[in-house]
Amino acid sequence: MTEQDIQISELETKIAFLEETVDTLNRVVADNTRQIEALKTAVRFLSDKLRECSVSNVALPSEETPPPHY
């Protein structure tokens, strides 16, 4: 093998590893995107439930007892 053949072989090897790395990263990004979407949905659901369940500490004017007169 010539020096040029060795360099080409090394470059082909590096490219193969880089392609594998890119494929792995693409899978990770796709998985993370799915997880983020699921978490967004869960947060929206919980936020809606919390709004439905929230109780105000302030009574309505019709429920307030009149203040005592001094």
The range of the structural domain enclosing residue 36 comes to 22-50
Report how far residue 35's alpha carbon sits from residue 59's, in angstroms, rounded to the nearest whole number. Answer: 41
Residue 27 lies in a domain: yes
Tell me what pLDDT residue 51 has.
Answer: 87
Residue 40 lies in a domain: yes
Residues of 2-20 as b/e, b for ≥16 C-beta within 10 angstroms? eeeeeeeeeeeeeeeeeee
Amino acid at 58: V
> Structure tokens of 29?
């990004």
> Structure tokens of 49?
């439930």
59: pLDDT strictly greater than 80: no
Residue 39 lies in a domain: yes
Residue 16 lies in a domain: no
Total number of domains constituting the chain: 1
pLDDT one-digit tens code per residue, 3-55: 999 999 999 999 999 999 999 999 999 999 999 999 999 999 999 998 888 66
